[in-house]
A = this chain, B = another copy of it.
Amino acid sequence: MSRIIHDVTLTLSPEVPAWPGQQAPKLFRLRSMSDGGANNISQLDTFVHFGTHVDAPLHFVDGARPIDQMPLETLIGPCVVVSFPDVDAISREDLEAAGIPKATERLIIQTRNCQLFDDHSQGFDKNFVALTPDAANWIVERGISLVGIDYFSIERYEEPGAATHVALLGAEVAVVEGLDLRGIEPGNYELICMPLKLKDCDGAPARVALIEN
């Protein structure tokens, strides 16, 4: 098998911008060999929507499916990567015009957001590109089961009523956020999206890869 694995996960560290108002995550040593410890052991303290992560329906729909009950059959499988390098928000019309095949089950959206990951010192950028609520409705109408994007939310900052999240998560569409799509060419891949299996939880940090066959 000659295949290429693209890791599309942001490297997690306290330098990665946290969502405004959330406490910055911590990653630190509990024990170090350099201090005489028998081994090195670290601790991670984070809100679960940090970095590359998956939203469960429970994130915006009370009583809905938690992350540990999202089927891996949805999170693993063929996907299509489309690129919108020049838009400020992705509309229904943008998606309609992008030539996304009818049979698409998983859609990964690349935007100019990617470039923000070149330098975390600039902090969280509220002007990231995301889906309008009507674009979310298009995703749902198309029967797409998973949608991913290359900044920390699928929805524009402070969208009224969180209408994009509510449309997607209300329809049980898996939402993958914070993908590092720098250098990824649009096209067909096998997606492997593996969130931590956190019991009854609204989301989880994830390791995500695109396999080029």
A binding-site residues for B, Cβ under 8 Å: 5, 7, 9-13, 22, 27, 30, 33-34, 38-49, 52, 58-60, 62, 68, 72-73, 76, 162, 165, 192, 194-209, 211
Q: Is A195 a contact partner of B207 (Cβ separation < 8 A)?
A: yes
Complex Cα spacing A199 to B44, Å: 11
Q: Is B59 a contact partner of A40 (Cβ separation < 8 A)?
A: yes
- A sample of 5 more A-B contacts (CB under 8 A), given A39-B59, A39-B60, is A5-B73, A13-B200, A41-B47, A41-B202, A194-B209
**What is the count of identical protomers in the complex?**
2
Complex Cα spacing A198 to B50, Å: 12
Which one of B39, B49, B76, B211 contacts A162 once the chains associate, using CB atoms below 8 Å? B39
Which one of B5, B30, B52, B202 contacts A72 once the chains associate, using CB atoms below 8 Å? B5
Contacts A42-B48, A43-B46; A198 near B12 (Cβ below 8 A): yes
Complex Cα spacing A48 to B203, Å: 18
